[in-house]
Amino acid sequence: MRIGEICTVQTIYCKADESVQAAALLMRKHHVGDLVVVEQAESERIPVGIITDRDIVVSVIALGLDPSSLLVGDIMSADLLTAPEDDDLYETIERMRSRGIRRVPVVNNAGGLAGIVSVDDLLEFLAEEMGELSRISSHQQSHEKRARQ
């Protein structure tokens, strides 16, 4: 399965020159804990970083800084891992695991933002797959009962 098939496509984003306060308000408005930071290039939004609610708490609030005076680019995580939308799901999981990353922007062939995948998305998908596997035995038993009658 490809990562683009399970990512959240309605990704909330902002630009690096927005204030941290504006980013926090955007998170609140859309009920999300992260924003993909993008640059506009041609007709594509190219991911360049990510900012999380935790970044705001640890890097701004805990230090008593003014979120309206700081820019997203000042505190965003810029060492960004992205996943092409046609990447194998398990390869993406492995790269996330090896780098300790919980959220990964998914990009199209032009490098533009196509969605985002989180650990929660992956856990939900894998739980569904495990549920399907658990049904094999009961389906096999039903099939055997019908075949032996």
Neighbouring residues of 33: CB distance < 8 A, sequence distance ≥ 6: 27, 52, 53, 54
Q: How far apart are CA 72 and CA 27, in angstroms?
A: 13
Tens digit of each residue's pLDDT (9 = 90 or more) over 8-63: 999 999 999 999 999 999 999 999 999 999 999 888 999 999 999 999 999 999 99
Tens digit of each residue's pLDDT (9 = 90 or more) over 82-95: 999 999 999 999 99
| pTM of the predicted protein model | 0.84
Sorting pLDDT into bands at 50, 70 and 90, what band is 140?
low
Three-state DSSP class for residue 81: coil
Q: What CATH number does the domain located at 3-118 have?
A: 3.10.580.10
Query: CA angle 108-96-135, nearest 5°?
Result: 90
Q: Please state the domain extents for the chain.
A: 3-118
Q: What are the Cα distances from residue 124, in Å, to 117, 130, 135?
A: 11, 10, 17
